[in-house]
């Protein structure tokens, strides 16, 4: 307690410390507000509470970080992350490419053979699939461990491939295998040219990349998951997006490891008040980019035809359908735009902060706090709440210690929910 009171007294003895805390909070809060605005879009238009919001942010950060590792300028990582997350969210949904690959994925191998061929032909296909599965699994094992053999996971994988390829959607598996082999060839050639040999994780990384590319070609996360839960109850959407969050976190952990990462920008730090207040230029650039993206999104929502369709759908989806608006296309676009906004926010965060595969939950909680406090469709409120939460977190870290910074966000969420509950009870009493 003495340390806490000492930190509080320091704020009064040296008022300039408050300036530093407020500046840091505002710069970080601007990025929080950007991610929260994407959640407000999805929540308000589709009525989907996206628990994977923070994981989209972290994924965008890793896209930008990986691009810088390959020599791309750090600032170009923001539009790159925006575009990649747009595709993962469902940017190809409704396009000719999406229709073509979806048709390919729906091909059933046994149906193509004809039902009159009987069980003998089916057994031949299953046996052939099992042989192919064994060959693939053994190749993976040899590539990673330098030897052949069977383990329990390998046996399960072989049986799944042998049964799913013929009876489920053989075209989907065929698409996945083709992308996997192409990714392996691409990775292998790149590694052979750079280090002169193949790494043991080449096939695994290519498999993870194949999963992502296959998801993009089939219409993204929206087409595969979100479109099936829009009309469902609250619990179903929460469970589905929670599963997406777990999947993304594990994929990032497989691809990039569990270490924290950041991008160092070659910019200096500005000092004020005899060096007591420092403002990194990298953070200023991040705030400017976040503000520019926010202005662009708001202008798009206000003046474009799609933006007007999104606002109409959020007000009354049934009336929007009657007026000729393709609400399915609006939903797909909205979710893709949310993922892209999160990707850009993550690319900015990796330049001013740290990212790690399992940090997504912290940003999800912050986004829920901001949207719950500001309300749906209230952009000025989202900005004000984001900046306020950023400042409060910085004050909490100064007073209680940096270890309690994440707890401040959870505490704020509880406070906001309690206040909202009290307000609803008062409204019910007035109506009664």
pLDDT of residue 99: 66
Could you give the CA distance from residue 362 to residue 410 in angstroms, rounded to a whole number?
9
pLDDT at 65: 92
Instruction: Count Cβ atoms within 10 A of the Cβ of residue 136 and give its class: 0-12 exposed, 13-18 middle, 19 or more buried.
Output: middle
Spatial CA neighbour of 45 closest among 240, 409, 329: 329
Q: In this predicted structure, what is the pLDDT of residue 207?
A: 64
Residue 218: beta bridge partners? none
CB-side exposure of 249: number of CA atoms within 13 Å? 19
pLDDT reported for residue 137: 60
Nearest to 30 by CA among 309, 406, 371, 286: 286
What is the signed CA dihedral for 37, 42, 47, 48, rounded to 10 degrees?
Answer: -110
> For residue range 140-183, what is the model confidence (pLDDT) as tens digits?
555 555 555 555 555 555 555 555 555 444 455 556 666 666 66
Ranges of residues in the chain with a pLDDT under 50 are 109-110, 112-117, 167-170, 192-193, 195, 431-432
**How far is 345 from 33, CA to CA, in rounded Å?**
9
Is residue 93 within 8 Å of residue 220, measured between CB atoms? Answer: yes
Q: CB neighbours of 408 closer than 8 A, spacing ≥ 6?
A: 392, 393, 396, 397, 400
Instruction: Determine phi and psi for 272, rounding to 5 degrees.
Output: -135, 165
pLDDT at site 343: 93
pLDDT digits (tens, 9 = 90+) for 224-237: 888 888 878 778 88
CA distance 353 to 263: 8
Under a CB-based contact definition with an 8 Å cutoff, are residues 396 and 34 in contact? no
Residue with tokens 């990649």: 84
Cα 288 to Cα 274: distance, rounded to the nearest angstrom: 25
Question: In this prediction, what percent of the chain has a pLDDT beyond 70?
Answer: 70
């Amino acid at each position: 307690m003495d340390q806490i009171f000492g930190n509080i007294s320091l704020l009064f003895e040296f008022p300039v410390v408050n300036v530093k805390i407020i500046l840091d909070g505002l710069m970080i809060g601007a990025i929080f507000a950007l991610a929260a605005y994407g959640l407000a879009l999805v929540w308000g238009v589709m009525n989907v509470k996206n628990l994977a919001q923070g994981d989209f942010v972290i994924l965008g950060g890793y896209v930008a970080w990986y691009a810088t590792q390959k020599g791309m300028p750090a600032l170009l990582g923001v539009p790159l992350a925006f575009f990649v997350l747009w595709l993962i969210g469902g940017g190809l949904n409704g396009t000719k490419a999406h229709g073509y690959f979806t048709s390919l994925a729906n091909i059933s191998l046994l149906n193509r053979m004809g039902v009159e061929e009987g069980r003998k032909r089916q057994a031949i296909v299953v046996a052939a699939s099992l042989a192919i599965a064994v060959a693939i699994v053994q190749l993976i094992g040899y590539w990673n461990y330098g030897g052949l053999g069977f383990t329990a996971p390998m046996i399960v994988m072989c049986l799944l491939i042998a049964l799913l390829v013929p009876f489920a959607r053989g075209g989907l598996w065929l698409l996945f295998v083709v992308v996997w082999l192409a990714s392996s060839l691409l990775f292998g050639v790149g590694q052979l040219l750079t280090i002169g040999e193949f790494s043991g994780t080449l096939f695994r990384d290519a498999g993870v990349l194949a999963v992502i590319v296959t998801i993009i070609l089939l219409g993204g996360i929206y087409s595969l998951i979100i479109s099936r839960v829009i009309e469902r109850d609250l619990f179903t959407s929460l469970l589905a997006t929670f599963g997406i969050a777990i999947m993304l976190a594990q994929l990032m952990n497989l691809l990039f490891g569990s270490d924290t990462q950041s991008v160092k920008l070659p910019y200096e730090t500005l000092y004020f008040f005899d060096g007591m207040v420092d403002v990194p230029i990298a953070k200023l650039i991040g705030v400017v980019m976040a503000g520019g993206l926010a202005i662009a999104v708001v202008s798009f929502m206000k003046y474009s035809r799609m933006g007007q369709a999104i606002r109409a759908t959020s007000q009354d989806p049934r009336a929007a359908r009657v007026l000729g608006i393709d609400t399915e296309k609006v939903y797909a676009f909205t979710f893709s735009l949310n993922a892209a906004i999160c990707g850009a926010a993550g690319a900015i965060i990796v330049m001013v902060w740290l990212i790690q595969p399992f940090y997504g939950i912290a940003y999800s909680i912050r986004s829920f706090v901001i949207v719950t406090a500001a309300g749906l469709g209230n952009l000025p409120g989202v900005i004000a709440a984001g900046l306020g939460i950023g400042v409060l977190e910085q004050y909490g870290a100064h007073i209680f210690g940096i270890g309690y910074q994440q707890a401040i966000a959870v505490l704020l969420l509880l406070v906001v929910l309690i206040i909202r509950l009290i307000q609803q009870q008062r409204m019910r009493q007035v109506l009664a």
